[in-house]
Amino acid sequence: MVFHVYVYAFGDNVDQILWSRCQLFTLAEIQSATNNFDDTLVIGRGGFGKVYKSSTNNLSEGEIAIKRLDPTSTQGAHEFEAEVEVLSKLRHRSLVSLIGHCNEEKEMVLVYELMPNGTLADHLRKPDFSLSWLQLLKICIGAAKGLEL
Ligand SMILES: Nc1ncnc2c1ncn2[C@@H]1O[C@H](COP(=O)(O)OP(=O)(O)OP(=O)(O)O)[C@@H](O)[C@H]1O
């Protein structure tokens, strides 16, 4: 399993766990939020499939990222269920929130809060990217807290 570290705007020191429920979206709602999986909305690709930025705020008040299982993906139903099972119950600033999911007509889709600053890996690849030891320490502590949950 691969863990991504996202760059979050650390504005507060609130470190509480909130228990929540993950919503079940219809395929029609997902299609509408992605302009029917329009490739111009793709913001990333992983082992699960393509990740889209939603074109609307119909599914959630905040911006969202929509991950669609590619039928040719080596990951599948098992990982989908594990992700829903684990992430749906938790809200914590060190974890990307899973807002909802959709499992309809062979389409498996996960809906997350959007991390507009991208992953730490994205930033590390930039030639002009530099971090202080304090920033590195904060990133390590945030990642460790997320893993501990
Ligand atoms: N919530 C999100 N907000 C912003 N960008 C995201 C979000 N989720 C994924 N992405 C983008 O999509 C890319 C692929 O994400 P994904 O989580 O599927 O990758 P992966 O971890 O390599 O895949 P997997 O672990 O499923 O094999 C990420 O590198 C990131 O750029």
What pLDDT does residue 96 have? 85
pTM (2 d.p.): 0.81
Q: Give the Cβ contact number of residue 97 at 10 Å.
A: 20
Q: Measure the CA–CA gap between 8 and 31, rounded to whole angstroms.
A: 28
Whether the CB of 66 sits within 6 Å of ligand 1: no
Whether the CB of 51 sits within 6 Å of ligand 1: yes
Where the chain has pLDDT below 50, the residues are: 1, 10-13
Of 43, 83, 91, which is best to mutate to test ligand 1, by the most ligand atoms within 8 angstroms of its C-beta?
A: 43
What pLDDT does residue 15 have? 54
What pLDDT does residue 31 have? 96
Q: Is the ipTM of this complex over 0.90?
A: yes
Cβ partners under 8 Å of residue 7, min gap 6: 115, 117, 118, 119, 120, 123
What pLDDT does residue 1 have? 46
Closest CA to 118 of 3, 4, 7: 7
Whether the CB of 44 sits within 6 Å of ligand 1: yes
